[in-house]
Amino acid sequence: MKIADRLDQTALDQLRSVLGLRPMGRLTDAWDELFGEASNSAAGKGARVELWRDVDDATWRIDVEFSTEVPEAVAQAVVKQVCGDVKAVGLQVSSVLQRHPADTERADLER
C-alpha cells in the first residue's frame, strides 16, 4: 500500500511504533530504502510487514507478505488493520495493490 504523505522523523517513529516494526534506515540518508520490518502472524500464517521509501521520488509504501497462501478474508483483515494503523498516526493511504500467488506465478512464467 502506498502512503500519500511525506514522513518526517516524528511520523516515521510513530508509524514504526504502531506497526510494531524494527527500525532500520536513516531518514537523512538519501539512499536508504528499507525503514522497518516485522514478522507477525495472521490466522496462524506467517506475515512479514515492511516499510519502504522509494529513493527516486521519496514516496512511501508498506508491503505485507504472507509466507503461505491465506484466505481472502484474512488478507483483507490484515490490510484493513494496517490501513487503520496508518490513519491512526495521521497519515493517509493513497492506494492498495494486492497480488495473489497465482498472479506472481503467471508473471514469472511470462518472462
- pLDDT category, 100, cuts 50, 70, 90? low
What pLDDT digit, counting tens, does each position of 42-97 carry?
A: 667 678 899 999 988 889 999 998 888 888 888 888 889 999 999 999 999 999 88
For residue 74, the model assigns a pLDDT of: 85
For the chain, the first-to-last Cα distance in angstroms comes to: 25
Residue range(s) defining the domain that contains residue 51: 2-110
Rounded-to-integer distance, Cα 47 and Cα 67, Å: 6
Does the pLDDT of residue 103 top 90, yes or no? Answer: no
Question: How much is the average pLDDT of 30-53?
Answer: 86
Eight-class DSSP state of 25? S
For residue 69, the model assigns a pLDDT of: 84
Number of structural domains (the chain) is 1
Q: From the DSSP assignment, how many helices (H) and strands (E) are in the chain?
A: 3, 6
